[in-house]
């Protein structure tokens, strides 16, 4: 059997400052030893490569943190090492997340020369007051300058925006999104502001400094978002991600389709060889682990068939394409009829929130905002496995 392809995620944990809404594994440090980090990431990669010989990479994703703060020479070294370890698919996608500051935009030419062919820019808003509220260090003018530089150097560009902010109206979001869609990028990631535990925003909400958008208002903005992106030829292919047909993020599709992926760097998760891995989150602990063990793994667990099937369903039903029950059955050995509660599926389908077409199950656009409530009702794998 021909080995299935792989995706590779590389985590750079450092940021200039911590955004108040962010719960990612990001850290602010006065200094970063670039040579030590390059060596540690290369060692962590080599460990994973020894476990997965004969595979080819279809995508690499540099996330963070703020990976556009990495020296381009480090990015080049990691890409070159990945090519030597695994080899690349002919159309490999290599994405790097970037803040749209002038300092980071100045590195775009070197990052493109290193092999990056897709960049994801965290614009987050097209309003300076909103950027200040979100704790962003750049202005709208600076971010648009960075976008122009990115579109010059990279064949594919994504932009991130955050909406459903406190007191944001439908007309305000419509104007922002219309402007964003005019930039001509092939992909947009549009996230509703969520108040995550442990963030500064959670503290501010708890102490009454601001009130988040209510669910009804957020649902209205979500519906508006879907209408506008579809009309612009960039429909949603996942809850928060929209792309021109053929320009979907291949790396993220690997996650949502539950293909094997490797994660290296602090806090990175991986799913490969039917096992779940996680790296040490704190940068200093990660470096110490690599020095001791030649890898940064803090935990690694075998995943039984029921767990893999459940994770596949939870991820795959986020996609507009939905999931193929027969494909999932082939991959896990669990009968198709035992993957979902068919009675619950039929009941929710009558409400227009789910569609079942033979082997394929999809959540409708009307059902996507309710996905977190729908999934516990229809996913039946654990009950089947325990029976």
So what's the pLDDT on residue 103? 82
So what's the pLDDT on residue 337? 87
Choose the CATH number for 6-256 among 3.20.20.70, 3.30.70.890, 3.30.365.10, 1.25.40.340. 3.20.20.70
pTM (two decimals): 0.94
253: left (phi over 0), alpha (psi -120 to 50) or beta: alpha
In this structure, what are the phi and psi dihedrals at residue 152, rounded to the nearest 5 degrees? Answer: -75, -35
* Sheet hosting strand 118-124, strand order edge to edge: 236-238, 241-243, 187-192, 156-163, 118-124, 88-98, 57-64, 6-12, 261-264, 269-272, 275-279, 297-302
So what's the pLDDT on residue 1? 41
Query: Which tokens go with 162?
Result: 């955050």
Read off the pLDDT of each residue in 164-168 and give the average, rounded to a whole number. Answer: 95
E strand or H helix that includes residue 225: helix 215-231
Write the burial class of residue 13 (CB in 10 Å: 0-12 exposed, 13-18 middle, 19+ buried). buried
- The 10s digit of each residue's pLDDT in 340-370 is 988 999 999 999 999 999 889 999 999 999 9
Read off the pLDDT of each residue in 24-38 and give the average, rounded to a whole number. Answer: 94
- The 10s digit of each residue's pLDDT in 238-271 is 999 999 999 999 999 999 999 999 999 999 999 9
> Residues of the chain with pLDDT > 90: what percent?
90
Q: Where are the domains of the chain?
A: 6-256, 325-386
So what's the pLDDT on residue 280? 98
Alpha carbon distance 295, 264 (integer Å) = 9
Query: Which has the closest alpha carbon to 89: 47, 58, 49?
Result: 58
So what's the pLDDT on residue 385? 44
pLDDT, mean over the chain: 94
So what's the pLDDT on residue 384? 45
- The 10s digit of each residue's pLDDT in 75-112 is 999 999 999 999 999 999 999 999 998 888 899 999 99
Confidence of residue 383 (pLDDT cuts 50, 70, 90): very low
């Amino acid at each position: 059997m021909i080995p299935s392809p792989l995706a590779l995620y590389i985590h750079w944990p450092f940021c200039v400052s911590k955004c108040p809404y962010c719960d990612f594994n990001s850290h602010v440090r006065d200094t970063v030893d670039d040579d030590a980090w390059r060596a540690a990431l290369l060692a962590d990669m080599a460990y994973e490569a020894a476990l997965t010989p004969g595979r080819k990479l279809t995508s690499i994703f540099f996330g963070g943190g703020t990976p556009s703060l990495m020296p381009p020479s480090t990015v080049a070294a990691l890409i070159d090492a990945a090519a030597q370890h695994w080899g690349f698919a002919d159309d490999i996608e290599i994405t790097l997340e970037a803040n749209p500051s002038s300092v980071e935009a100045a590195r775009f030419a070197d990052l493109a020369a290193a092999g990056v062919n897709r960049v994801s820019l965290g614009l987050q808003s097209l309003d300076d007051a909103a950027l200040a509220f979100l704790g962003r260090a750049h202005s709208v003018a600076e971010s648009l300058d960075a976008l122009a530089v990115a579109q010059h150097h990279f064949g594919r560009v994504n932009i991130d925006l955050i909406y459903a902010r406190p007191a944001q109206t439908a007309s305000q979001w419509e104007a922002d999104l219309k402007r964003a869609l005019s930039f001509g990028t092939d992909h947009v990631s549009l996230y509703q502001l969520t108040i995550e535990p442990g963030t500064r925003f959670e503290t501010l909400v708890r102490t009454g400094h601001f009130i988040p958008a209510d669910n009804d208002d957020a649902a209205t903005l979500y519906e508006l978002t879907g209408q506008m992106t579809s009309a612009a030829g960039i429909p949603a292919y996942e809850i928060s991600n929209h792309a021109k047909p053929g320009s979907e993020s291949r790396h993220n599709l690997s996650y949502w389709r539950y293909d094997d992926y490797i994660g290296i760097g602090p806090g990175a998760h991986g799913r490969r060889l039917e096992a779940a891995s996680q790296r040490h989150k704190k940068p200093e602990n990660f470096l110490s682990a690599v020095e001791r063990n030649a890898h940064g793994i803090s935990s690694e667990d075998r995943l039984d068939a029921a767990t893999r099937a459940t994770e596949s369903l939870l991820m795959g039903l986020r996609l507009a394409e939905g999931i193929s029950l027969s494909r999932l059955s082939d991959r896990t050995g669990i009968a198709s009829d035992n993957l979902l509660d068919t009675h619950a599926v039929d009941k929710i389908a009558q409400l227009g929130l789910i569609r079942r077409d033979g082997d394929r199950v999809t959540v409708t656009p009307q059902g996507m905002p309710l996905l977190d409530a729908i999934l516990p009702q229809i996913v039946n794998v654990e009950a089947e496995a325990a029976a």
